[in-house]
């Protein structure tokens, strides 16, 4: 991974994307607790901090409602291992999904000074800054994290005024998953360019197969696609950031042409009919049930390659492709960011015990090794040393995309917008793809939203 790793060291990767970093499924909120009796991965708990003889319960607030698979399972296994070696510690889980509901509840907890001890956190200014201002988040020192193998840019995402407020867990990036058998059975080649994507989409539609399963209902996947289209059109991920920060306007930086290209791709039937009504789970189901040839989503879905709940004939044929190249942007230009981490409540009566658990959980031999070897996600830490011959073919294909990236997007620009203006932005993209806006009207809308947000941000300084 050295090639991409060097990019992460120097890239402007400072902000994570909300709504990413877990399985993404629209799960109902769940409450539960775990104890030390469950099975756990081999974990080096030698540096864990015992609470002595006094029993302590730590409340762990997670966005992974399903603890039977993916990151939710890893969280549970590591908590079980920690409690086994620290019998006076009990870790109680509360889980809320999807991510927006989780974030809304976190804000309620902060307002009422009822924060959990350990919590999933994104480095979004609108989410983290109020918590920092309220002295809610515990600081991690450079000494705390110096030997944990974190990518420097990942730590930077959780750093404010020189202080580290979270431990990053994922390196996320956008890809096209595809069903190799569908392509082979229909004599089609995976698309490498947007022109090829349009051509393939028309042929798949003729065969009554949805070309690309798209979560159009939630908004953020469409925004990722829009940001990618801005890069594919201009050749630089910086173009969108410049427009958001008002170093130029969307109108002057090619936004109208990008909006028109998006409508062209939708009109070609790339996402099938009714995609704006599909949420994350529905879009994924189309793909894993063999009704869609491709699925646009982040690398965190690499678990599909080993998920026993997916039929064998589909699971064994899932591959990964870079997002197709455009007029100027290459398919080695990668939408990549850091997808969240864990923070500790500084006001907790058990803050030191919570910090000790969080640091232990995120040791490379615990978190990075577990999520990589189980095929769950790409950690935000060095993980080459944990690669074995047991990784799925899908995981290896994703690793190739990751390794061969020549440029990365870094921050997701709307993370820096005021929440109301960010909503106007994503709602506008949904309306554009529903042909309720012309490209010109859409660009006027997002230019106004970016201008409004920029003024508010300047006033808040």
> Where does CATH 3.40.190.10 sit in the chain?
17-170+340-382, 171-338+391-461
Cα–Cα distance for residue pair 428/169, rounded to 1 Å: 31
Q: Is 375 left (phi over 0), alpha (psi -120 to 50) or beta?
A: left
**What is the DSSP code (8-state) at residue 190?**
P
Joined together, the tokens standing for residue 235 give 């050749």
Domain 17-170+340-382 has CATH 3.40.190.10: yes
Nearest to 118 by CA among 143, 93, 139, 82: 93
State pTM to two decimals. Answer: 0.78
Secondary structure element (H or E) that encloses residue 21, with its range: none
Query: Which CATH superfamily hosts domain 171-338+391-461?
Result: Periplasmic binding protein-like II (3.40.190.10)
Cα–Cα distance for residue pair 73/63, rounded to 1 Å: 12
- Rounded to 5 degrees, what are φ and ψ at 451? -65, -45
Strand ranges for 65-224 from DSSP E: 89-95, 118-121, 159-160, 163-164, 167-168, 171-179, 210-213
Cα–Cα distance for residue pair 145/126, rounded to 1 Å: 25
Cα–Cα distance for residue pair 381/153, rounded to 1 Å: 10
Joined together, the tokens standing for residue 372 give 């990589």
- Rounded to 5 degrees, what are φ and ψ at 316? -75, -5
**Residues recorded for the chain:** 461
**How would you write the pLDDT of the chain (461 residues) with one tens digit per residue?**
333 443 443 333 333 344 444 444 444 444 444 433 333 343 444 445 554 579 999 999 999 999 988 899 999 999 999 999 999 999 999 999 888 789 889 989 999 999 999 999 998 777 888 899 899 999 999 999 999 999 887 898 899 999 999 999 988 899 999 999 999 999 999 999 999 999 999 999 999 999 999 999 998 899 999 999 999 999 999 999 899 989 999 999 999 999 999 999 999 999 999 999 999 999 999 999 999 999 999 998 988 988 889 999 999 999 999 999 999 999 999 998 886 899 999 999 999 999 999 999 999 999 999 999 988 889 999 988 998 888 889 999 999 998 899 998 876 777 778 778 888 999 999 999 999 999 999 999 999 999 998 888 777 65
């Amino acid at each position: 991974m050295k090639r991409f790793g060097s990019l992460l060291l120097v890239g402007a990767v400072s902000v994570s994307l909300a709504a990413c970093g877990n399985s993404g499924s629209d799960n109902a909120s769940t409450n539960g607790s775990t104890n030390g009796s469950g099975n756990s991965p081999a974990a080096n708990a030698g540096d864990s901090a015992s609470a002595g003889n006094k029993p302590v319960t730590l409340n762990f607030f997670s966005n992974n409602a399903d603890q039977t698979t993916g990151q939710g399972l890893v969280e549970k296994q590591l908590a079980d291992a920690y409690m086994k070696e620290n019998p006076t510690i009990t870790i109680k889980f509360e889980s809320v999904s999807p991510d927006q509901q989780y974030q809304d509840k976190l804000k309620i907890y902060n307002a009422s000074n009822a924060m959990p001890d350990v919590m999933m956190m994104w480095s979004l200014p609108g989410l983290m800054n109020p918590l920092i201002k309220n002295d809610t988040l515990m600081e991690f020192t450079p000494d705390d994290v110096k030997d944990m193998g974190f990518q420097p840019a990942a730590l930077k995402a959780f750093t404010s005024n020189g202080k580290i407020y979270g431990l990053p867990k994922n390196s996320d990036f956008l890809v096209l998953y595809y069903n190799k058998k569908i392509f082979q059975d229909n004599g089609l080649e995976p698309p490498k360019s947007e022109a090829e994507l349009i051509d393939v989409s028309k042929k798949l539609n003729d065969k009554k197969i949805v070309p690309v399963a798209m979560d159009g209902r939630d908004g953020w996947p469409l925004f990722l696609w829009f940001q990618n289209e801005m890069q594919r059109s201009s050749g630089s991920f910086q173009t969108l950031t410049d427009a958001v920060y008002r170093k130029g306007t969307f109108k002057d930086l090619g936004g109208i042409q990008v909006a028109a290209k998006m409508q062209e791709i939708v009109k070609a039937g790339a996402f099938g009919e009714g995609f704006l009504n599909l949420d994350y789970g529905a879009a994924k189901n189309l793909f894993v049930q063999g009704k869609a040839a491709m699925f646009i989503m982040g690398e965190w879905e690499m678990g599909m390659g080993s998920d026993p709940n997916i039929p064998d004939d589909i699971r064994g044929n899932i591959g990964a492709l870079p997002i197709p190249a455009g007029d100027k942007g290459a398919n080695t230009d990668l939408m990549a960011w850091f997808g969240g981490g864990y923070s500790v409540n500084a006001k907790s009566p058990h803050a030191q015990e919570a910090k000790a658990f969080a640091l232990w959980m995120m040791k490379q031999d615990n978190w990075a090794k577990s999520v990589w070897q189980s095929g769950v996600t790409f950690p935000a830490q060095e993980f080459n040393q944990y690669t074995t011959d047991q990784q799925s073919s899908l995981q290896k294909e994703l690793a190739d995309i990751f390794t061969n990236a020549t440029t990365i997007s870094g921050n997701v620009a709307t993370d820096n917008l005021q929440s109301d203006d960010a909503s106007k932005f994503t709602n506008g993209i949904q309306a554009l793809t529903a042909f309720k806006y012309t490209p010109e009207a859409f660009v006027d809308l997002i230019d106004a939203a970016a201008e409004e947000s920029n003024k508010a941000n300047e006033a808040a300084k």
